Amino acid sequence: MEKIASLPRAHAETSASAHERVYRTLRTRIMHGELAPGEALTLRGIGKEFGVSMTPAREAVRRLVAEGALFLSSSGRVSTPELTNERIEELAALRALIEVELASRALPRAHMALIDRLQTINGVVAEMISKRDAVGYIRTNLEFHRTLYLRAQAPAMLAMAETVWLQLGPTMRSLYGRLGRTEPPHNHKLIIAALKAGDEPGLRLALRSDVTQGLRLLAT
Amino acid sequence: MEKIASLPRAHAETSASAHERVYRTLRTRIMHGELAPGEALTLRGIGKEFGVSMTPAREAVRRLVAEGALFLSSSGRVSTPELTNERIEELAALRALIEVELASRALPRAHMALIDRLQTINGVVAEMISKRDAVGYIRTNLEFHRTLYLRAQAPAMLAMAETVWLQLGPTMRSLYGRLGRTEPPHNHKLIIAALKAGDEPGLRLALRSDVTQGLRLLAT
DNA sequence: TTTGGCAATTTGTGATCACATGTCAGCCTA
DNA sequence: TAGGCTGACATGTGATCACAAATTGCCAAA
């Protein structure tokens, strides 16, 4: 960690600043459920892993805390959040509200190419389920939703939805671990069918089910 | 800015860390419309104003950028965002979605004490309008909404709503400047009436109008 | 007068340091 | 042996510095 400094973003390796790189990586990990709820992180540890000093690590962590992806204890320690059932219910309700709206806005713009792509992704989702790959399942499932919502041309709403996903990330993992293992993505098929038929009420219903069903079955 | 250091949180003056203090202050300013859209900020300037170094200033700014309260240019300069009409429409739709839900959840818990409080706040809102005090109007208007939503016992949703307010802050100011000056808070009266009557559909409608009407009248 | 370019200044980024606090293990005492 | 205390270590916070890039201002040339 000496003062070599002036290596001019060698080879456009990552193209972004250090804290951006750290932030992106951690964000993806959290959103995809690669970190367990309550898992602790340290600034020096993050810095060491990414080969940067504490400064960019701190900035990345602060950003994630601001988005609700990480929990900051009163003594300043950071960890992934352990959500209460009430909070999970709230976040599920938020998902339903925002994503139903996004899907509704995407519907009139959904052409065949999009539906084909969704079907392809859905195949990968099914594959991940059969492989019991929790992280892969979460990732492709979110990709399915994001692909649909991108058509809504509503970046602020999409960002909001992603923030909710982020907050649910660590919980998702342990959730889909205890959930029914092999159910096929039935709701996804309903979503695709509603898109094909241009059936907005059906789309809203299918989406609400897809978003809500998994999260409600925790009961704990 | 010398190394005095060990003053032990003298007198519990602010009770919080430096970056927290900076963050809170800036956040309030932005949410209340005290900063114009496109207004530039510098880390050293912030640090100077609050008597801190660049480090806590940077953390506060990062946090606000993560929440969408500040815009970060490609060269790293920060300023308040200048929202496009499309984005304003999106944010208004998000307000409607989330706040209608919050109000709906608050309705069964809304007792007389709450309604009285809302009426008192609404009186202040009217006073702010008659005084042409834009910042005061925004502040008390948000206080009206927050007071209602707190009853919903849904902190994640409330946080989401506040994030939207934050993003709209700078725009609000210039918006309510060019808007009709002296209209009384008619929708607020409708909201209160619906709360008294326990009329959920009416509450949803009144709230949607209140949230949406101002934001739609921009047209640029 | 206008425009192009160069230099000074401003500004963000990241590293490092000093320090206070929090955490935890091990030891001493009752 | 159990419980509390102490010390070492880990960790977050904030200040300062060096540096690169962007911005600005200024002067000269057309």
The CATH number of the domain holding residue A17 is 1.10.10.10
Q: In angstroms, rounded to a whole number, what is the distance separating the alpha carbons of residues A67 and A164?
A: 9
Which pLDDT score is estimated for B206? 94
Looking at the predicted structure, is the pLDDT value of residue B146 above 90? yes
The predicted model gives A55-79 an average pLDDT of 94
- Chain B positions touching A167 (Cβ under 8 A) are 156
Which pLDDT score is estimated for A32? 95
Give the C-alpha distances (Å, rounded to integers) separating B191 from B143, B197, B202: 14, 10, 8
- Kind plus residue range of the DSSP H or E element containing B153: none
Task: Read off the pLDDT band of A179 (50, 70, 90).
Answer: low
**DSSP character for B39?**
-
Of B157 and B130, more confident: B157
- Chain A positions touching B65 (Cβ under 8 A) are 63
Find which nucleotide's C1' atom is closest to B73's CA: C12
Looking at the predicted structure, is the pLDDT value of residue B1 above 70? no
Domain boundary among A79, A101, A132: A79
Which pLDDT score is estimated for A11? 34
Of B63, B86, B94, the CB nearest to A62: B63
Which pLDDT score is estimated for B181? 59
- Kind plus residue range of the DSSP H or E element containing B216: helix B200-216
Q: Work out the burial of residue A146: count CB atoms within 10 Å of its CB; fewer than 13 is exposed, 13-18 middle, 19 or more buried.
A: middle
Which of the residues B94, B99, B158, B166 would you substitute to probe the A interface, choosing the one with the greatest number of A C-beta atoms within 10 Å?
B94
Which pLDDT score is estimated for B30? 96
Q: Quick: pLDDT tens for A20-35.
A: 999 999 999 999 999 9
The predicted model gives A172-182 an average pLDDT of 72
Q: In angstroms, rounded to a whole number, what is the distance separating the alpha carbons of residues A167 and A182?
A: 25
Tokens of B217: 């009248």
In a shared domain, residues A69 and A130: no
Task: Read off the pLDDT band of B7 (50, 70, 90).
Answer: very low
Contact of A91 with chain B, judged by CB distance below 8 Å, is answered with yes
CA distance A130 to chain B (A): 34
Which pLDDT score is estimated for A72? 94
Domain boundary among B50, B79, B108: B79
Of B66, B90, B163, the CB nearest to A63: B66
In a shared domain, residues A186 and A204: yes
Which pLDDT score is estimated for B112? 92
Q: By residue range, what is the domain housing residue B110?
A: 85-216
Q: Which of residues 10-49 of B touch strand C (CB under 7 A)?
A: 41-45
In a shared domain, residues A133 and A174: yes
In a shared domain, residues B52 and B120: no
Which value, in Å, is the radius of gyration of the alpha carbons in chain A? 19
- Chain A positions touching B207 (Cβ under 8 A) are none
Looking at the predicted structure, is the pLDDT value of residue A182 above 80? no
User: Which CATH number is B181's domain given?
Assistant: 1.20.120.530
In a shared domain, residues B102 and B42: no
Of B39 and B182, more confident: B39
Which pLDDT score is estimated for A37? 93
The predicted model gives B8-18 an average pLDDT of 54
Is residue B27 in some structural domain?
A: yes
